Structures are given as structure tokens and as C-alpha cells.
Amino acid sequence: MGKRQDTLSGLLLRGARSKGSQPYLIHASTGSVCTYQEACAAAERAAAGLEAQGAGRGARVAFVLEDDLQVVVSLLACARLGACASFLDPGLPEPRVSAGLKVFRPRLVVRSRDVRAMLRVPGTRSPGPTAPARAEDPLVSFLGEGRSAVHTQSSLLAGAEALAERFKPLGAGAEWCLWPGRAYPALLDAVCALLRGGSLVLGGASLLKTSAGPALERLRVRALDLPASMLTLLLRKTMGSGSPAFPEGVRWVRCSGGPFPEREARAFESSSGVPVVALLSAAESGPVSSTQARLGARPPGCVGRPLHGCDVRILDSRGRAKPPGRSGEVAVRSKAVMTGRVPTGGSVRLDPRRRWRRTGLQGRLDRKGDLHLPAT
């Protein structure tokens, strides 16, 4: 487990020394592998390229990248420099991209071709930033309507530690993240893989439309992390006429975000025999709670016990805590909650205090401490 004073670059450097040639990032569609040593070297080259263009500690860098592996390498490069990254969807219309840039106001806008050029530069180490990065430096911003949620290295690590604590190491297998690489769950999975010294498969959602089984077995996948909307696609694959049984070796499927598709999840679990785990998380709140038992062993709408280090309250309309069994708005407090915002055209505003964060979700806590949301 990482310690609170850790930075991502320090974590990656230790991984490169201890894991060396072990796969860290795997591209599902192409099968290309990036080892811990290669990821460390790539992050150093990208950091050197960004620094040469004026991106140092505190600088904001917007990335418009088509490759999920480039996203993770760019995040690690910004962690090396103490810069703050924001990853924009390259599939968005140009006006939407421009609107995001107006909110974030980056010093640099970096595209896939720029990252490829940085990674082709000989040498593996940058000269080093003039001001070393710190755990409390703003690291990544997730753009919303008119403002953005900001995570520091510390808060992103705290969320990954909570996941690593709840979901134990997966042995020699890999976890396949089917979220877009720029999404909060994908970046959280990448940091979690660093913490547990495991491998992360990125991208390749299109494989689920063809023959997922061979791909899962070839990559030695032990777990899937996917948006709730993709569970329907998996369900069709496992229940469709002539479809092979779900591949052996996959221990569980985790649906992150929300709302959790209860009906589809129960049907998938029944047809595949693979447990479905509900993980309540968001960029603003961080990971909040998760289930561990099979769906049949818990009531509909239950999203499990709060993760380690996460406090949950149910509030009334006036912000007062409600007792167990009473419904209201879910509020969370943890070190993984976002630590600031970037208002439109403004500077990064950090608030390191552990305030209660309203989620906008309605729910209740039962007397055992499990969180329940309205079943879908």
C-alpha cells in the first residue's frame, strides 16, 4: 500500500525497480504491452517534453488523446512535474472541446501526435523539475458544466488505496478496465494497479461485440471494471444463442458509477455464474461503497458497505443527519473526495479540509451500515 506522502512518480519508480519487465499496461485491441520499466521511461520522456514546452509545477495541461495508454503515461508525466492534467474526449465536436478549454484555461494543449513525438525522443530521463512535485499538488481535473472537479495526487491515491483494500490482489491475472481511459474510474484503476503491482488492460470495448472469451483468456483477465451501461452488452454475449459460456478465470465483474442496473446484473450473474459487484463512485465523491456478496445474497438497491476511510451520512433538506432506515440525500467525507474546483476562467481552488460532500443521490443506511439506493 502507498503512504499518504507518496507521489505517483515515486510509486512508479519503485514499481520499475521491483517489477521491471512485468506487464503494467496492456492494450486490449492490439495486445501491445507496456512493462513497469517501460511505463516509467515513457513517463520520464513525456515529462521532459512537457517541461520543454513550459509545463512545470502548477501548470495546467489539456490532453486530447485517442489512445488510452497515452492517457495513463501523460497522467504519470504530469505527476512527475507537479502539473495538472485534464483529458478531453477527442470524439467530441470541436465546439465542445473549445468550451472545455475555456473552463480549464490550459498552458498547453497536447494531442496524440504530440505525445508520440515526445516518446520518440532518445533517452529515458528528464533533467528533473525545478520544483519537485508534492502529494498535495493538483493532478487531474474532470470537466463538468461550467466548472471542473480537481483531484490532487493524494486524493487519487486515497481512492486507489480504498479500492485495493476492498478488492484484494488478483494474483497473476489482470484487470480489464472498459471505461474510456480519460474517465475517473480508469485513472483510479491505473493507480490501483500500481499499488498492488498488478496489470491493467485498457480499451478494447469493441472486442465484446465479437468474441470476448478468447480475448479474456489470452490476457489472463481475472476481473472486469465497466460502466453500468455495458453490462447489457455482456448479458447479450453470455445469454445469446450459441454464445460460449463466460470464460473461466474471471472472478468478478465490477460495475462502477451508477445507477446500478439491478435487473440486468442479476440476469448476468445467473447466466454466467460470475459475481457482479456494485461500486458507487464519481469524480467528485471518489469511491464510496461497494458490495462483496453475490446479488442474490443482498436486497435490491443495496450498494454495500462504505469503503475504508469513507464516512457516509444521510441528510435531510436542511443538512441534518438522519438516523438509520430513513431516506435522504447521500453525503460523503473521505480523503478520496475531490479537493478543489476550477471555476470558468479562474484558477484552481483547493480546499484540503475534509468537508462533507453532497452527492445529489437519494438513499438510506440500514442498521448494519450498508448503503441502499433506489433499485433500478
Phi/psi of residue 2, each to 5°? Answer: -75, 160
Domain with 365 in it: 8-372
Range 21-36 burial, b when 16+ CB lie within 10 A, else e = ebbbbbbbeeeebbbb
Question: What pLDDT is stored for residue 101 in this prediction?
Answer: 86
Comparing C-alpha atoms, which of 330, 284, 346, 307 is closest to residue 155? 284
Give domain status of residue 337, yes or no. yes
Query: What is the spatial distance between Cα 122 and Cα 348, in angstroms, rounded to a whole number?
Result: 34
Give domain status of residue 1, yes or no. no
Give domain status of residue 2, yes or no. no
Its sign, for the CA torsion 195, 197, 198, 200, is: positive
Give average pLDDT by consecutive 10-residue segment, the chain, 376 residues.
66 92 90 93 95 91 94 96 93 86 89 94 56 83 72 92 80 81 93 92 75 69 87 71 61 81 83 85 90 72 91 94 95 89 60 76 94 81
Q: Which three cell numbers stand for residue 63?
A: 490532453
Give domain status of residue 336, yes or no. yes
Give domain status of residue 159, yes or no. yes
Between β-strands 276-282 and 286-290, what pairing exists: parallel, antiparallel or unpaired? antiparallel
Question: What pLDDT is stored for residue 130 in this prediction?
Answer: 52
Comparing C-alpha atoms, which of 72, 23, 283 is closest to residue 190? 72
Number of domains in the chain: 1
Walk across the sheet containing 328-333 and list its strands: 311-315, 328-333, 357-365, 371-372
3-class DSSP assignment, residue 88: strand
Give domain status of residue 3, yes or no. no
3-class DSSP assignment, residue 169: coil
CATH of the domain at 34: 3.40.50.12780
Give domain status of residue 181, yes or no. yes
Question: What pLDDT is stored for residue 222 in this prediction?
Answer: 86
Task: Decide if 170 contacts 198 (C-beta within 8 A).
Answer: yes
Alpha-carbon dihedral of residues 160, 164, 170, 174, nearest 10 degrees? 0
Query: Residue type for 366, please?
Result: D
